[in-house]
């Protein structure tokens, strides 16, 4: 072992992007920094961190050793911005680094998906850019223009993904599934080719957002308002509570913030950010 401490930075992510439920995600320029240190004696860890460490040790057949974990950064918890994946990936990447990289990046991705249950946050957090996560396969990753702006309306309340998934129906009408498929294909094409104008009108979702509106009652109003001032579109970020919009430039992004401020309670936070095309980074 070269060093007993590793630090990694992991970006926040926005998942789903409307019709890309459990598949699409984008990495943002907001970060958590995770420090993992090898210890001599056992340290009590929160269950999410313990689980990630246990999975790493069992996958690599390395005898478990005690670690301490310190998390700092700006990714708000339980707001649909991938905070849980920053922590899980932080542990996996740090342990891998501490043990001189027994696992490849794609293996670490699959471990993060096992812990998360879906890859829509794990893929962009690890690889950066716009990503398409697929069951049992490697994600597709596309860098995006740094001209694009992502506007985040972050409410002052948390939403648990587990609870938000309980609101979803077990079956959906085939016409809704078909409409989502078509719009998701348009979004993937727009991001993969850089023809961002194609995004207009493509973010409508019929599989999860309508059922989660009870959690964020001003969701539809905010999305309509964002488009009315020129945003390319908007969506419920992950399972919420954050509402995200995308704009072609800073000027439109600022107008989106103005309309969001009129709709959301004053305790909300408003952020304009950009894509992160790099993904998780080992700092030291």
**Looking only at residues 97 through 116 of this chain, which bind ligand HSE when binding is defined by CB under 6 A?**
none
Q: Choose which of 118, 159, 202, 257 interacts with ligand HSE (CB under 6 A).
A: 118
Q: Which stretch binds ligand HSE (CB under 6 A): 14-22, 42-50, 64-72, 220-228?
A: 14-22
Task: Please work out, in degrees rounded to the nearest 5, the angle formed at the alpha carbon of residue 151 by the alpha carbons of 148 and 153.
Answer: 170
Residue (94 or 239) nearer to ligand HSE, CB = 239
| 165 belongs to the binding site for ligand HSE (CB under 6 A) | yes
Nearest alpha carbon to residue 74 among 282, 276, 216: 276
Dihedral Cα 124, 81, 56, 100, nearest 10 deg = 60
Question: Which of 58-66, 159-167, 214-222, 270-278 is the region at the interface with ligand HSE (rule: CB under 6 A)?
Answer: 159-167
Q: Decide if 202 contacts 233 (C-beta within 8 A).
A: yes
Give me the least distance between CB of 127 and ligand HSE, in Å please. Answer: 15
> Residue 214 or residue 228: which is nearer to ligand HSE going by CB?
214
In angstroms, the CA 171 to CA 209 distance is: 15
CB of 21 to ligand HSE, least distance (A): 6
Beta carbon of residue 238, minimum distance to ligand HSE (angstroms, whole number): 4
Work out whether 121 is an interface residue with ligand HSE (CB under 6 A).
yes
Distances 190 to 23, 24, 59 between C-alpha atoms, Å: 16, 13, 37
Q: Choose between 120 and 255: whose C-beta lies nearer to ligand HSE.
A: 120
Query: Is residue 120 at the binding interface for ligand HSE, with CB under 6 A as the rule?
Result: yes
Gap between the Cα atoms of 237 and 257, Å rounded: 16
- Segment contacting ligand HSE (CB under 6 A): 15-23, 135-143, 219-227, 268-276? 15-23
Size of site (CB under 6 A) for ligand HSE: 12
Helix (H), strand (E) at residue 1:
none
C-alpha distance from residue 57 to each of 60, 62, 69, 92 (Å): 5, 5, 16, 9
Closest to ligand HSE by CB, 95 vs 164, is 164
- 149, 238, 257, 280: residue in contact with ligand HSE (rule CB under 6 A): 238
Could you tell me the CA-to-CA distances from 204 to 21, 62, 192, 201, 236 in Å, in that order? 11, 46, 19, 7, 10
**CA 60 to each of CA 2, 34, 40, 237: distance values in angstroms, whole numbers, following the listed order:** 18, 21, 21, 33
Tally of CA atoms within 13 A in the half-sphere of 184 that contains its CB? 23
Write the binding mask 22 to 41 for ligand HSE: x where contact by CB under 6 A, - elsewhere.
x-------------------
Residues at the interface with ligand HSE (CB under 6 A): 15-16, 22, 118, 120-121, 161, 164-165, 208, 238-239
């Amino acid at each position: 072992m070269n060093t007993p401490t590793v630090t990694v930075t992991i970006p926040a992510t926005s998942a789903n992007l409307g019709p890309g439920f459990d598949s699409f995600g984008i990495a943002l320029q907001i970060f958590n920094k995770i420090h993992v240190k090898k210890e001599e004696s056992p340290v009590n860890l929160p269950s999410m961190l313990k689980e990630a460490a246990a999975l790493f040790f069992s996958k690599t057949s390395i005898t478990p050793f005690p670690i301490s974990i310190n998390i700092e950064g700006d990714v708000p918890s339980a707001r649909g911005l991938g905070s849980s994946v920053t922590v899980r990936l932080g542990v996996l990447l740090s342990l891998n680094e501490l043990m001189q990289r027994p696992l490849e990046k794609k293996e670490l991705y699959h471990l993060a998906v096992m812990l998360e249950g879906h890859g829509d946050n794990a893929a962009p957090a690890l690889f950066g850019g716009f990503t398409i996560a697929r069951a049992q396969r490697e994600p597709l990753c596309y860098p995006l223009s740094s001209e694009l702006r992502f506007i985040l309306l972050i409410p002052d309340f948390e939403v648990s993904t587990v609870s938000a998934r309980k609101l979803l129906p077990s079956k959906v009408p085939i016409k809704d599934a078909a409409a989502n498929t078509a719009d998701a294909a348009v979004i993937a094409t727009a991001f993969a080719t850089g023809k961002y104008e194609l995004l207009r009108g493509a973010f409508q979702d019929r599989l999860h957002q309508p059922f989660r509106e009870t959690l964020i009652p001003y969701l539809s109003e905010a999305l309509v308002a964002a488009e009315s001032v020129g945003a390319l579109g908007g969506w419920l970020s992950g399972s919420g509570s954050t509402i995200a919009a995308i704009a072609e430039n800073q000027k439109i992004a600022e107008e989106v913030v103005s309309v969001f401020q009129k709709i959301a309670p004053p305790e909300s936070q408003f952020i304009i950010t950009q894509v992160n095309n790099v993904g998780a980074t080992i700092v030291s």
